[in-house]
Amino acid sequence: MPTVIAVIDTTTLKLSKLLKSGSDPEQFDISHDGKQLFIANEDSGTLTVVNISTGAIDKSVPVGKEPEGVRLTPDGRWIVVTSEEGNSIYVVDSHSFKVVKSVSVGKRPRDVAFTPDGKTAYISGEFDSSVYTTTIPEAASGTRVLQLRKEARPMGVIFDAPHNGYLSARGAAVRSGGGAR
């Protein structure tokens, strides 16, 4: 049975609507025009595309086992979904909703961040405490660019262009060229 995502009116702080999401929604992102919601559904192994105004599910795209993270590239052209069990990311065309590529990355990828031009993705690997990078959509594989201490287990990644990027790893911030702080 599909679960729902609540839409809250930030002026009144009241529930404005409920959107169908698919089974076990994890992370989600919104299209640049605000018309679609992209949801990673862990139990069903799908990316669900929801029309925000109608609440209808427009597409359900298979994207590997246990999808967790989902991010739209800055130009809106590609949707990247992480597959925790598959140790990979799936690159999905945001117009046709077809998977164009699967790329192997670190163990249990959780999140994705992009350079401002959207051509390079950074992916956090929770189980091997890594950060991988790949080019979107061209690359056939990911490259490990950062290895953290075993207990770091990074859940998220944020690209900070003015400071050459950083990763949030359970309370520690790591800057490339810098170190833990």
Average confidence (pLDDT) over 131-152: 87
Cis peptide before 137 (omega within 30 of 0): yes
pLDDT above 50 for 34: yes
**How far is 87 from 82, CA to CA, in rounded Å?**
8
Residue 177 burial (10 A CB sphere; 0-12, 13-18, 19+) = exposed
The predicted-structure confidence for 47-84, as pLDDT tens digits, reads as follows: 999 999 999 999 999 999 999 999 999 999 999 999 99
- What's the confidence (pLDDT) of residue 179? 45
163 compared with 134, residue with greater pLDDT: 134
CB 25 within 8 A of CB 66: no
Compare 155 and 98 and report the one with higher pLDDT.
98
Q: Is the pLDDT score of 30 beyond 70?
A: yes
